[in-house]
Amino acid sequence: MNPQVRELLNWGRTQLKTSESPELDASLLLAHVLGTDRLSLYTTPTPPTEDETARYRQLVRQRSNGRPVAYLVGFRDFWRHRFKTDPRALIPRPETELLVAKALEWAGNLATSSPIRVLDLCTGTGCVGISLALEKPDWKVTLADISWEALELAQENAALLGAKVTLTHSDLFQDLYGTWDLITANPPYLSPEETRSCLALGWGEPEIALNGGTLGTELLERLIAEAPSHLVPGGILLWEASPHQHRTFAMILDRLGLRMLGPWPDLSGNYRVWGMHT
Ligand SMILES: C[S@@+](CC[C@H](N)C(=O)[O-])C[C@H]1O[C@@H](n2cnc3c(N)ncnc32)[C@H](O)[C@@H]1O
């Protein structure tokens, strides 16, 4: 490795020692400034210029103030694709890939002869719905969100990745007409207190993407109660939430007489995705 590259990476790692992944963050930021990928940092023979060094130091400082790497570099890899990210929407999280995996798995149980119709509610960057549309180009995928800014970003991602999707503005199902075979949703599911702590850490993500109302489950309760009238018979709703919310879902589904699917754990072993079908 070029000695100056090594020195900058070491400096960055030290500055970011309180972040979750100092080494990864420093290498992503340096690779971004040098217009290369992380692995090429090991083989690049040329030292960074003064300007590149200054830009890198500036990004490391912003990161150490809490700014997420995905906002600093402008993208996040999710499923098989690279999604544009900026403060208009939540940064896609690795655990949300489970929602995509379960949607693909459960779609195999749907009894439909025509193209499967999918609604990705609370779409944000569009990472879930766009990943599904790219996996299954014959599906008819609609992306919906209450945030116009998020929808704009989802549209940009669909265009960048060449996904054929329809975008709609809606407060959950309020402005949506019709029924779907499969509905996916990763709604905000933090409590107001949890949301405040995250914002205080400088995440910079939109509050509307984090705050799920009282106990974090207000929006989810609405989602589960309203979904059956927007699903075809035998249709499936899959959603992401927090492990500790499991009892709330069990109670709501019981009250509505609906059968729970899952929950399924993420790679850290925490319940992350639940489902139900009509
Ligand atoms: C946790 S983010 C998820 C974004 C994306 N699906 C993902 O997994 O990265 C939640 C999204 O729900 C949207 N949202 C919040 N309240 C909503 C509502 N009442 N109706 C529709 N979307 C809503 C937010 O704008 C945000 O984009």
**From the first residue on, what is the mean pLDDT of each consecutive set of 10 residues in the chain (278 residues)?**
94 94 96 94 91 98 94 97 98 97 94 90 98 97 98 98 98 96 98 95 92 96 97 96 96 95 95 96
Torsion sign (Cα): 62, 63, 66, 67: positive
How far does residue 113's CA lie from ligand 1's centre (Å)?
Answer: 30
**How far is 106 from 192, CA to CA, in rounded Å?**
33
- C-alpha 134/C-alpha 50 separation (Å) is 41
Whether the CB of 128 sits within 6 Å of ligand 1: yes
User: Are the beta carbons of 48 and 5 closer than 8 angstroms?
Assistant: yes
**Using CB atoms within 10 A of its CB, is residue 198 exposed (0-12), middle (13-18) or buried (19+)?**
middle
Q: Is the CB of 100 under 6 A from ligand 1?
A: no
Q: Which two tokens stand for residue 24?
A: 């990864």
In whole angstroms, give the CA distance from residue 68 to residue 72: 7
* Ligand 1 probe mutation, 71, 86, 90, most atoms within 8 A of CB: 90
188 Cβ below 6 A of ligand 1: yes
Q: CA geometry: angle at 184 spanning 180 and 190, to 5°?
A: 140
Which of 255, 262, 213 is CA-nearest to residue 240? 262
- What pLDDT is stored for residue 142 in this prediction? 98
Query: For residue 103, what pLDDT is reported?
Result: 98
CA dihedral 220, 99, 39, 63 (to 10 degrees): 0
Q: Which pLDDT score, from 0 to 100, does residue 112 have?
A: 77
Q: Can you give the pLDDT at residue 153?
A: 98
What is the spatial distance between Cα 12 and Cα 94, in angstroms, rounded to a whole number?
24
Which among 36, 31, 38 is positioned nearest to 55, based on CA atoms?
A: 31
Shortest-distance Cα residue to atom 5 of ligand 1: 124
Burial of 174 (0-12, 13-18, 19+ CB in 10 A): exposed
Query: All domains of the chain, ordered by start, with CATH?
Result: 3-73 (1.10.8.10), 86-277 (3.40.50.150)
User: Distance between CA 182 and CA 235 in Å, rounded?
Assistant: 6
